[in-house]
A and B are shown apart, each in its own frame.
Chain A
Amino acid sequence: MSKFKYDIAFKAVVIGGSAGSFQGITRMLSEIPDDFEIPIIMCLHRLKHVRNGFVEALSLKSIRPVVEPYDKEPIKKNKIYLAPSNYHMSVELGNTFSLSTEDMINNSRPAIDVTLSTAAYVYKSKCVGILLSGANKDGALGMKRIKDRGGVTIIQDPTECMIATMPEAAMAITEIDHVLDVQNIISYLKGLNKYLKGIKV
């Protein structure tokens, strides 16, 4: 019996992270099941003018390579996406990505709020938002949007975070469904995948 309740076929898992999130992310990407089929959409704060290296580093231990989508790229199952450097990444109706070079938001481009909010808009209740360790408040508003549209909100347990500002900012403005350490986020995602595969959880 799982400690989590699953009753929705989610369309996307959207993850935001900043300072101190890299280790947690790489653990998640390596420990989720090989057949994890829900698209994982990540927006992580990163160096603006370094185009290469990050996606390769994330891919090293990941169950499958992480890709930085092109503008208007269709979002597909069995894929792990990362917002490219120096672009905001949005989810569009019709289930494609679109990129933009608009001003920085919360001093960030890519901004987590942009990815989370647009995913919330498109996927409504079928969206899981996960916010990890980070040193500013980017992502908090996006988590609120996910909650407001009926999605599921998860933050990394602040006591486990290297810097808890980001998840705490989210907690301050919206309801958080689960406060979990990385190990339990992985369990949650495993259960989600099982549920989708139609196996009794």
Chain B
Amino acid sequence: MQEEIEISELRKLTEIVKEHRGYDFTNYAMSSFKRRILRVLELGKFSSVEQLIRKLKEEDGYINEFLEEITVNVTEMFRDPSFWRVVRDHIIPNILLNHNTVSIWHAGCSSGEEVYSMAILLKEMGILNKAKIIASDLDRTILERAKKGEYSIKNMDLNQKNYIRFQGVGNLSDYYTVSNGKAIMDKSLIEQVSFREHDLVRGMVFNKFDIVLCRNVMIYFNQTLQNEVLKKLHESLFKYGYLTIGSKESLIWCDIANKFIVVNNEEKIYKKIRE
């Protein structure tokens, strides 16, 4: 197994991917990106970065497999239960004071756990039919998985624990059936959700939202790219809309931090106050 990759090799790889496949990893955070590439080398039994580069260049279909391995798709339902309580008890009610509907964007939705968490939350509030939800990711394989909503039973244990801490009104198991070791989510939960292939790095701003959830996504970007993406997220929000990021992310070092105010520092919920 290869243990280390030279920065020059990584640069060459990102250049090829950019030029031939249209995805730009140039400004991904170096340490995690390197780990992901090492993982791809190991899983694909590549003997060198050079060999991987050749495959990316020559095999048209391989990019999808590559994207699936390179993006981090570890997530949970109701991750940080206290965050979801604040969304339910404060954020959504606040939006409904001024709007009849709630528009939500899950930016970088991965395998969809957060999308289902939101749908369950809205359903328990009795307003799922008032919501318009977009869930996007750059990896189309993982989007398909999100749409399918089938999760290993093994993971449901943790999801269930989170749901209990979230203090939902029922039981997480009310929202899925079990078959072949999988929890199959209730399809009616995602009737209001449109899944869409979208790359935060190169994609355009496509709509305005009341809430943008982008939790633990920008941690994979370097500071330069974080700034660029944050600009897009800012543009995608209505004035006084909410941006939520991961519990250990911060806007402090970002150029346009002053266009937001902190609504809840513990849960990392921000409100857009300036265009």
Contacts and interface: CB of A to CB of B under 8 A. Distances in A.
Interface stretch (A93-101, A152-160, A176-184): A93-101
Interface string A77-104: 0000000100110111100101111110
15 contacts: A49-B161, A49-B165, A51-B80, A69-B248, A71-B250, A87-B248, A88-B32, A90-B32, A92-B222, A98-B32, A100-B219, A102-B72, A103-B74, A114-B31, A118-B31
A100 B73 CA distance: 11
A88 B249 CA distance: 13
A100 B80 contact: no
Given A70-B248, A70-B250, A101 B223 contact: no
B248 A100 contact: no
B31 A71 contact: no
Contacts of A114: 31, 35
Interface size bracket, A side: 20 to 34
Contacts of A91: 31
A101 B161 contact: no
A68 interface: yes
B43 interface: no
Contact of A93 (B30, B218, B248): B30
A72 interface: yes
A110 B250 CA distance: 19
Interface in A91-147: 91-93, 96, 98-103, 114, 118, 121
Interface in A9-59: 49, 51
Contacts of B218: 71
Contacts of B169: none
B74 A98 contact: no
B248 A92 contact: no
B6 to A, nearest CB: 11
Given A49-B161, A71-B219, A93-B30, A102 B248 contact: no
A72 B245 CA distance: 14
B31 A90 contact: yes
Interface string B193-220: 0000000000000000000000010111
A91 B31 CA distance: 8
B30 A92 contact: yes
Contact of B32 (A69, A102, A121): A102
B252 A70 contact: yes
Contacts of B31: 90-92, 98, 100, 114, 118, 121
B29 A101 contact: no
B219 A92 contact: no
Nearest to A105: B35
The 3 A-B pairs with the shortest beta carbon distances in the complex, nearest first, are A90-B31, A70-B250, A71-B219
A51 B247 contact: yes
A101 B249 contact: no
A118 B30 CA distance: 10
A101 B80 contact: no
Contact of A101 (B36, B74, B222, B226): B74
A100 B75 CA distance: 11
A70 B29 CA distance: 14
